Amino acid sequence: MSRFDLSGRWAIVTGANTGIGQAIAVGLANAGADIVGVGRSATTQTEADVCSLGRRFVTVSADLSRTGSAARVIAGALEAGATPDILVNNAGIIRRGDSLDFTEEDWDAVLDTNLKSVFFLCQAFARAALAAERRAKIINIASMLSFQGGIRVPSYTAAKSGLAGITRLLANEWAGSGINVNAIAPGYVETNNTMALRADAERNADILKRIPAGRWARPEDMAGAAVFLASPASDYVHGAILPVDGGWLAR
């Protein structure tokens, strides 16, 4: 059997309706996993793509900015028949603005969704995995701003920097219990979150100049890293933050 085979495993993917989350969900399904798609909006296309591969798909609706939503997501997945095997924390939002003008509302919205909810999803998922005595994989979606400061995205930078730390902390605590906690740090990807950057001709040109690969990433570029971190091939990988950035950080 391939070390990358995910047959018989369930993957809970937040923000699975579009972009990186959709691509990862389909990539994991292609490797054999069944999928629980979590999000506020419909996951119709993702479900169709997953089911076309002969895999099962379950939808769990949730607003991850709300207190208590994390525990309900994991409970909903288990009630639907999923097992606590793989969790991909992909859902996130971004708010842009100069730091001098940035509002407390925009700060809280991003931190609640991108960091607080991730921690409590990890907690609820790990509790379920330990109770079921199953090995499990957690994959957080970090960012280039887990390594760099960026501009005009203070709450996003704080959240993604914090996510890198939380990934390492949870890896330290849970590695000995059979739970791998790692992260993927996408480079600049063609998604809804980057539409403003791609529409800005000057910023777009500056970004492309720095990417050795010479192009923006596509969401599907993240799928291979996710399959690796979800599979037995990564059983001795703990606390890693894997850049998938076209060489951005190496520049």
Residues involved in catalysis: 156
Q: Do 150 and 157 contact (CB within 8 A), yes or no? A: yes
Distances (CA, A) of 9 to 17, 31, 188: 20, 10, 30
Q: Which residue has the tokens 């989350």?
A: 21
Cα gap 48→81, rounded to integer Å = 19
Cα gap 21→16, rounded to integer Å = 4
Cα gap 213→190, rounded to integer Å = 14
Spatial neighbors of 7 by CB under 8 A, at least 6 apart, are 32, 33
Instruction: Catalogue the E-assigned strands of 40-85.
Output: 57-61
Cα gap 65→54, rounded to integer Å = 32
Q: Are strands 179-186 and 136-141 parallel, antiparallel or unpaired?
A: parallel
Cα gap 94→128, rounded to integer Å = 30
Q: How far is CA 125 from the centre of its chain?
A: 14
Structural tokens at position 141:
């979606």
C-alpha radius of gyration, the chain, whole number: 17
Spatial neighbors of 153 by CB under 8 A, at least 6 apart, are 94, 95, 96, 145
